Amino acid sequence: MNSSQKTGFTCWLTGLSGAGKSTLATALSDALVGQQVAHELLDGDVVRTNLSKGLGFSREDRDTNVLRVGFVCSLLNKHSINTIVALISPYEETRAKLRAMLPGFIEIYVNCPLDVCIERDPKGLYRRAIAGEIPEFTGISSPYEPPNSPEIIVSTHQETVEESVDKILNYLSTHCFL
pLDDT tens for each residue of 27-74: 999 999 999 999 999 998 787 777 766 777 778 888 989 999 999 999
Q: Which residues, in sequence order, are CB contacts of 47 under 8 Å at separation 6+?
A: 65, 68, 69, 87
Which is more confidently placed, 44 or 17? 17
Cα angle value 171/143/147 (rounded, 5°): 20
- Give the per-residue pLDDT at 99: 96
Domains and CATH numbers, the chain: 10-174 (3.40.50.300)
Q: Calculate mean pLDDT across residues 85-99.
A: 96
- Give the per-residue pLDDT at 155: 97
- Give the per-residue pLDDT at 2: 38
Task: List the binding residues for ATP.
Answer: 15-22
3 is catalytic: no
Task: List the binding residues.
Answer: 15-22
**Interatomic CA distance for residues 57 and 144, integer angstroms:** 13
Distances, alpha carbon 3 to alpha carbons 21, 40, 138, in Å: 34, 22, 42
Q: Given 89, 142, 155, 164, which residue is catalytic?
A: 89
Report the candidate in 145, 124, 131, 133 with the shortest Cα–Cα distance to residue 59.
145
pLDDT band at residue 5 under the 50/70/90 scheme? low
**Interatomic CA distance for residues 28 and 156, integer angstroms:** 14
Q: Calculate mean pLDDT across residues 9-16.
A: 98
Yes or no: say if 22 and 43 are a contact pair by the CB < 8 Å rule: yes
Kindly report whether the global pTM for this prediction surpasses the value 0.85: yes
Kindly give the residue spans of alpha helices, DSSP state H, lying in the chain.
21-34, 44-50, 59-78, 92-101, 114-120, 125-130, 161-174
Q: Model confidence over 133-169: pLDDT tens digits?
A: 988 899 898 999 999 999 999 999 999 999 999 999 9
